[in-house]
Amino acid sequence: MDRLSETAVQAFTLLRRDIHQHPELAFSERRTAALVAAQLGAWGYEVSTGLGGTGVVGQLKRGTSARSIGLRADMDALPIAEATGAAWASCHHGVMHACGHDGHTAMLLAAAQHLAQQGRFDGTLNLIFQPAEEGGGGALKMMEDGLFERFPCDAIFAMHNMPGIAQGQLVFRSGPTMASSDYATVTLHGVGGHGAMPHKATDVVVAAASLVMALQTVVSRHVDPLQPAVVTVGAIHAGQANNVIPAEARLEVSVRALDPQVRRSMEQRIRDVVRLQAESFGVRAELDWRPGYAVLVNDAAQTVRALAVAQKHFPAHQVTPQGPMLTGSEDFAFMLEKVPGSYLFIGNGADGEPGACMVHNPAYDFNDDNIAPGAAYWIALVQELLSPTHP
Ligand SMILES: [Zn+2]
Ligand SMILES: [Zn+2]
């Protein structure tokens, strides 16, 4: 297997820490995108910038084959105040690379340099650096800018680090892997009044309390028990004083599923529960349903190929062929709806080891020991899937 040189590992570790120190929020990844574009350009990639705002694509063609492959990394950081105490900690207060997208960018750049300088492949390599994975749907924005029309890919792949799994462990999964994530805001309108005379009001607080409990039955009583699903009421706002019945209450709801059909049926059920609960309390409900990320479904055939590359080039104990589903979500799901491919995980560190701190925690940091195996996997995947001897 092609491995990065010691010099390259050191260089990309420094680069990862430089990106970490200068985190940028969704669609503001200007410094990061400029850095990515400059590096790719210097190595001979044809570079396109400004896709979906700050997205970058580096394209490298070699040989004569019409085959093509796309590898995707994300570049955005989170609105979290860093508490790692690392020498390379964020210099933008309140903004932090708490999901390791700095590491994903560094791993893909490390592979990019190696593939440009000594890659043995025949076909077209598209390296996709996307903005705004954290809720902004940067993947979709790049696609709306013609990502796959301008850079057609036979197959696409992406890799995310995962704390709690041994450092460098490669985890694959065929089929549904990450949840859809939808948002609902429910506003209840009643008639306010004096707390001493509830019969002269229609109380949205009692209606909201009942609705929270009724929403818990969507998963427990409506969804097939063998299908994973989540309904979380994460915020509830109403009233100011103990002796005033407010006229309005607001609930913020997060809805997740791992099957597109379950997702649709949960939406319908929630709409019914909200409407009928409100009716039973004599209040009026408004529901603002905002579809978020789709269910991430790994293509079976492409996952077999991606897994086979890992099994050929990495020790068996370092490769998990079928990992668990996760209730987190990921906008690479939109790309996978358009192009078959696979999304894999690389362990950031087992519990009790360095790198175990969960993503989105102020103490999280990407494990730099993953730059070498992460890049090596990307290099192997490209050289196997675009192998010059198997057109
Ligand atoms: Zn994240
Ligand atoms: Zn992430």
Cβ distance 362 to 96 under 8 Å? yes
Mean pLDDT of 137-147: 98
Kindly list the protein residues that place their beta carbon closer than 5 angstroms to ligand 2, a single-atom ion: 99
Helix (H, G, I), strand (E, B) or coil at 229: strand
pLDDT of 390 over the 90 cut: no
CB 160 within 8 Å of CB 343: yes
Å from CA of 316 to ligand 1 middle: 28
Rounded mean pLDDT, 170-196? 98
User: Per residue in 11-25, pLDDT tens?
Assistant: 999 999 999 999 999
Closest-lying ligand to the alpha carbon of 348?
2
Q: Is the pLDDT of residue 391 over 80?
A: no
Ligand 1 geometric centre to CA of 24 (Å):
13
Mean pLDDT of the chain: 97
pTM reported for the whole predicted model:
0.94
How much distance in Å is there from the Cα of 251 to the middle of ligand 2?
A: 27
Mean pLDDT of 170-184: 98
Q: Which residues are registered as beta bridge partners of 128? A: 57, 72
Tell me what the mean pLDDT of segment 210-234 comes to: 97
Q: pLDDT digits over 59-83, tens only?
A: 999 999 999 999 999 999 999 999 9
Segment 354-363 shows an average pLDDT of 97
* Chain Cα centroid distance, residue 282: 41
pLDDT grade for 389, boundaries at 50, 70 and 90: confident
Beta bridge partners of 233: 253
Question: What does the pLDDT average to over 194-205?
Answer: 98
Distance 359 CA to ligand 1 centre (A): 6
pLDDT at 271 > cutoff 70: yes
Is residue 208's pLDDT more than 80? yes
The per-residue pLDDT for 69 is 98
Query: Which ligand has the nearest atom to the CA of 332?
Result: 2
Return d(Cα 173, Cα 104) in angstroms, integer: 19
CA–centroid distance, residue 181 to ligand 2 (Å) = 14
pLDDT of residue 158: 98
Greatest distance between any 2 Cα atoms in the chain: 83
Cβ partners under 8 Å of residue 99, min gap 6: 77, 78, 133, 134, 359, 360, 364
Determine the pLDDT at residue 270.
Answer: 98
Mean predicted confidence (pLDDT) in 33-39: 98
Between the CA of 74 and the centroid of ligand 1 the distance, in Å, is 10
Report the pLDDT value the prediction gives residue 1, as an integer from 0 to 100: 81
What proportion of the chain, given as a percentage, has pLDDT over 70?
99
Cα 134 to ligand 1 centroid, rounded to whole Å: 6
pLDDT for the residue numbered 168: 98
Q: What is the pLDDT of residues 77-136, one digit of tens each?
A: 999 999 999 999 999 999 999 999 999 999 999 999 999 999 999 999 999 999 999 989
